[in-house]
Structure 1
Amino acid sequence: MIVQVEKSGIKFYDQSGVAHEASSDVSLEPMAILTEGDATVLNMDNEMIQIKDIVNMDVSSIAFSPKKSYLVACCKPVEGQNNLFILDKDIKIVAEHLWKGSSVDGCKNVSWGNDEKYMARKDTPSSKSVYVYEVAESLQKEVGIITVEKRVNNFEVAPHGGSEDKPHFLVVGTCGETSSLTRFYQLPNFEKEKFKNLSRGGQEINFVFAPDGHAVIIWASFDVDSTGQNYYGQHDLRYVQLGGGNKRSKVAVFDSQVSDVAWSPDSQDFIVISGKQPAVCTLYNNNCIPTFEFGRIHANTIRYSPFSNLVLLGGFGNLVGGIQIWNKENLKLIGKNKAHCTVVCEWSPDGSQILTAVTHPRVRIDNELKQFTYYGKQIQHRKIDNTDALFFAGWQPHDISEFTKIEVPEDFEEYDPETDPEEQEKPKPAAKRGRLVFPRSTAFSSMMRNEMNSVATQGPRKLKKDDYKEYMLESVEEKNALKAKPKPKAKVAPKNSWRRSGGFEIPSKEDQEAENKKKEEEEKKLTPAPVEYRAPPPSQKKEQNLNERNQQSKNKKRRNRNKKKKNQVKGGPQNATPAPAPAPSAYQGHGYYNQKQDFNSQGYYEEGYGYDQNYDY
């Protein structure tokens, strides 16, 4: 049964596309549905119950525990009230807690073990502590608190295999500047971790557990690539065994970029999509040994069928929506198709069909739902009117024991809609008016087709044990760089720290004097030594004074002469007659004497302007 939550209401369809009413003939397991508005509905035993009426608050997020014994509801915060509620099967509140963060993320900060023995939670997004509860005793009072030095970036209770000799683990991840640290606590020991693991990546850390809990893949990442080569940042994968061994291994990552990681439901293998698009899709066994490469394809989503025999590789989001379906038992491609703008992609509980949906609010128009067979043939297509909206679409939960695995024939031919006669006979929709139609064959499209064809020839292929060895081993320098501690930052007194009680520590008097003395010594080294003044001897001093007086007298005469000359030029006669030439001296030929001649350059008499002329006598 398919459940569709639309703006107009909740609708039910069977696998053949026939609509059903929500009545006694539709048997539904517990299902929680959160609509866009304030109406939060819990569908349990065909009874619709408003959770908002029970908690008396607007609900922002809801989530079930693994066995659906409890329901967690996080509400919009109200001052002085708890906003995180835990309800049992009878829809009664059994615990209330305070969540000091976004109410949409409240349920994400509550983690359950798959056997519901332990529950863990945080109270704030920046908390350094994780509160652990033993479900059988109480969900209100914790049995232990785990506290670390830095903010807890992520935490999760590891799945348990069910065997009594296997321990329960709580995994806590913290991020640093260049690396991330994952601590593994063996419950109920809350004081010290059992072991630790370092990863490259300092902004975000996630955990991908095997369903039986025997191993975990630590996915650490940077949001920004320091080299500037990748738009999606840098990623790092580590494989850690929790039970049945102590293997620690680095997982191969191409181009430092990871799109998706997923374990098979039977925990026998996992798939990693890494590298730039078209990306490399690689199959690993449960001991982290690469066995098969699906090739380079445009994919970023992995979906295993419930029986682990089929795998869907899809390219959704910013890709064109391509779908490839592989038979994992013989590693052959059995079908492909397209589902554009897909937001939801799920296998049916019996593994016979695939559901894809375009939902609101990721896509606000042209919401639709499609159903495909296990080999990729489209059998249903329901469009939602743009006046309505599709908020959710999913399969009714069922236990896998109710169904049997679909056996795919060995000689099954690959399905392709382009070669399907039924698809060719379907009328194609007419092109919308005003739509730009580009030529089908251009130089750019031809180049792209050639590039995609050349990429497709790079796979699929079987892998040897050492094919990815260069990507999975770490050098000594890399290990030392991960273990190296960052340099401590200089301690700076905060602004107005002296006003705060118990704020920045004030240095003692001895420390202040030592600091001042050190500064004085540094200033002396930088300041040049002063020149010592020595007085001249008396005799030299008298001579200096005499020369100064003579020079002052000469300067005074020169100033007076220049001043007198300026005054005469301004107020003198306009038509001055030239003075007669001096008569020859009676003493000519008998010697020399110097006579001052006061004539200007034009021959007119002007005192102080003349020149010296020698006469013989």
Structure 2
Amino acid sequence: MAPPTPLLAVRGSEGTSLLCGPPSSCLSVSVSVVKSSDGSLVSTLDLPKTSLLDFSPLNRVLVTWQVYKTQNSPQAEANLQLWDVQSGQLIKALYQKKVESWCPSWSDDEQICVRSVNNELHFYENNDFNTIANKLHVQKVSDFVLSPGSQPSKVAVYVPGSKGAPSFVRLYQYPVLGGPTAALANKSFFKADRVSMHWNKRASAVLVTASTEVDKTGASYYGEQTLHYLAVNGETAVVQLPKNGPIYDIAWSPNSAEFCVVYGFMPAKATIFNLKCDPVFDFGTGSRNAAYYSPQGHILVLAGFGNLQGQMEVWDVKKYKQVSRPQEPDTTHFSWCPDGEHVVTATCSPRLRVNNGYKIWHYTGSVLHKQDVAAGVELWEVRWQPFPDSIFPEKAIKYQAAPSEAPPTQAYRPPALRHLPATPSAKLEAKPEPEPPCDPAPVSNSQSESSSGDPETDKKIRNIKKKLKAIEELKEQEASGKVLQKNQLEKKQKEEQLLKELQELQISK
């Protein structure tokens, strides 16, 4: 039986629609639940002030959150509601003042649900929210993440440091939550104003990014960041990153045996590490700040979004060979289709309120569908229909671009010449993309240089280019917020003189 075709949900100022499905009204006066298969209405909830909503993993419970308001009475109404999806009946109403960690966390089979309440983690079983089945009390617990996958469930908790004491992350396995030996692993560290915790798919290890708001050395505008590793067998380690600078993104491979880190002052490095925190492959440097593994784990996309130019590097992670290098500026959303063959990029409001729209790509770089919204209309969200992992098996990677259904991008022509027939022009013709490297090694920018025939002249040229490269690195560090030392500023001021010397040497060749 052929796998189904995933639907793409698109939500904007003119409503919510499904590719391959009928539109559904979105008037901000109620919450409607519809079936993605045929668009039929399941239930409607009278919740005009709903700000956030989410489903439980098996779509049995709908969670809605409204801004917590006391109004004129000292006792506010419960603003976190749990609803039965099929019947539309309210299961439980709870209080949730802060938007951080507003949504309860479920295990994949919905046997366990967890939420943070006043420095405690409350555990519920089998969606029975009238009874707290278990509690984990850790003083000043700030954040937690429940593990994915099947039972037994595990939870990672973070407690910030205070009064000279370090911050720490601990791992527990439900239901063993109390006692001095209950923790599976413990990692303490200083210099942490906040953390982000990431379980791998098998729930065997956690990566923790610890960040400070301010770098007291003045080396980085982004503050200081460190990456820590914890395994459920008790092993812990600090992931050593060979380049200084911020950690932009980390991504676990779906095989749970390796992870990718994007880090360092621009141009950023990207490196794959194994479970011993040893580097496996280095992709070199590039204009990138994000990493995305395909659901099957056979393809990795390294991308530069946000204030970067939207360059995407698509890699075959088994051969460490680059497949394609598409580009999409102004991208605010990127996600893989469950089939591991397609991705969607989108420009959404409120991040960007102009040029909203989305594109569906094949991983070989071909644009299969493009949709721009009309002027004055906003696109808010784009999301793929979820599927179980077993539905879409891994397919062999293709290096030849898939046929594109979108009109090809043409070279720019001035308005005064657009009524004339196109003629070949060296300035207007697009240069072909260079072939990706076949060897499993990082992309290198070095090129073979012609020799002058004079070894002494060649040596001088190489030395000058080396100095110019060092000056470029200093300029990048200064642009990222680093304060340069006096000797570094003096070195930077010699750039013009070095360029002149290089030009004279090259002319003499």
**Residue 427 of structure 1, aligned match among 405, 410, 418:** 410
1:40 aligns with: 31
**Residue 235 of structure 2, aligned match among 238, 247, 250:** 247
Could you give the per-residue CA deviations for residues 508-550 of structure 1, whole angstroms, max 9, x where no partner exists?
xxxxxxxxxxxxxxxxxxxxxxxxxxxxxxxxxxxxxxxxxxx
Aligned 8 A contact 2:28 2:48 in 1: no
1:59 aligns with: 50
* The structure with more helix, counted as a fraction of residues: 1
Distance change >3 Å, CA 160–CA 351, structure 1 → 2: closer
1:321 is displaced (CA, Å) by 0.6
Work out the CA distance in 1 between the residues paired with 2:305 and 2:245: 20
Work out the CA distance in 1 between the residues paired with 2:122 and 2:362: 45
Aligned 8 A contact 1:115 1:159 in 2: no
Distance change >3 Å, CA 404–CA 96, structure 1 → 2: same
2:343 aligns with: 354
**Residue 369 of structure 2, aligned match among 377, 380, 388:** 380
1:320 aligns with: 309
Work out the CA distance in 1 between the residues paired with 2:408 and 2:66: 52
1:82 aligns with: 78
Give me the identity figure in percent: 25
1:272 is displaced (CA, Å) by 0.7
1:225 aligns with: 215
| Bigger Cα Rg | 1
Aligned 8 A contact 1:180 1:220 in 2: no
Aligned 8 A contact 2:67 2:97 in 1: no
Could you give the per-residue CA deviations for residues 167-225 of structure 1, whole angstroms, max 9, x where no partner exists?
43222101125742112233223333414211343210111100110111111111211
Work out the CA distance in 2 between the residues paired with 1:392 and 1:62: 13
2:133 aligns with: 143
Q: Kindly report which structure 2 residues correspond to 1:190-339, keeping only aligned pairs within 5 A, or say none.
A: 190-192=177-179, 193-194=182-183, 195-242=185-232, 245-253=233-241, 254-339=243-328
1:312 is displaced (CA, Å) by 0.9
Aligned 8 A contact 1:300 1:316 in 2: yes
| RMSD, matched Cα | 3.1
1:523 aligns with: none
1:67 is displaced (CA, Å) by 2.6
2:22 aligns with: 21
Work out the CA distance in 1 between the residues paired with 2:94 and 2:343: 39
Is 1:99 equivalent to 2:96 in the alignment?
Answer: yes
Q: SS at the partner of 2:230?
A: strand
Could you give the per-residue CA deviations for residues 253-282 of structure 1, whole angstroms, max 9, x where no partner exists?
331521001112232321111111111111
TM-score, with length taken from structure 2: 0.72
1:117 aligns with: 111
Could you give the per-residue CA deviations for residues 280-304 of structure 1, whole angstroms, max 9, x where no partner exists?
1111224433211111111111111
2:158 aligns with: 173
Distance change >3 Å, CA 329–CA 458, structure 1 → 2: same
Q: SS at the partner of 2:308?
A: coil
Q: Which runs of 5+ in 1 are unaligned?
A: 15-19, 24-32, 434-440, 442-454, 460-617
Work out the CA distance in 1 between the residues paired with 2:173 and 2:354: 49
Distance change >3 Å, CA 424–CA 358, structure 1 → 2: closer
Give the AA of the match of 1:168. S
TM-score, with length taken from structure 1: 0.60
Q: SS at the partner of 2:244?
A: helix
Could you give the per-residue CA deviations for residues 30-66 of structure 1, whole angstroms, max 9, x where no partner exists?
xxx9x6844433223633356541xx56211111222
Q: SS at the partner of 1:337?
A: coil
1:184 aligns with: 171
Give the AA of the match of 2:65. C
Q: Kindly report which structure 2 residues correspond to 1:454-493, keeping only aligned pairs within 5 A, or say none.
A: 457=444
Give the AA of the match of 2:410. P
Work out the CA distance in 2 between the residues paired with 1:169 and 1:356: 33
Distance change >3 Å, CA 397–CA 122, structure 1 → 2: same
Aligned 8 A contact 2:8 2:19 in 1: yes
Aligned residues: 402
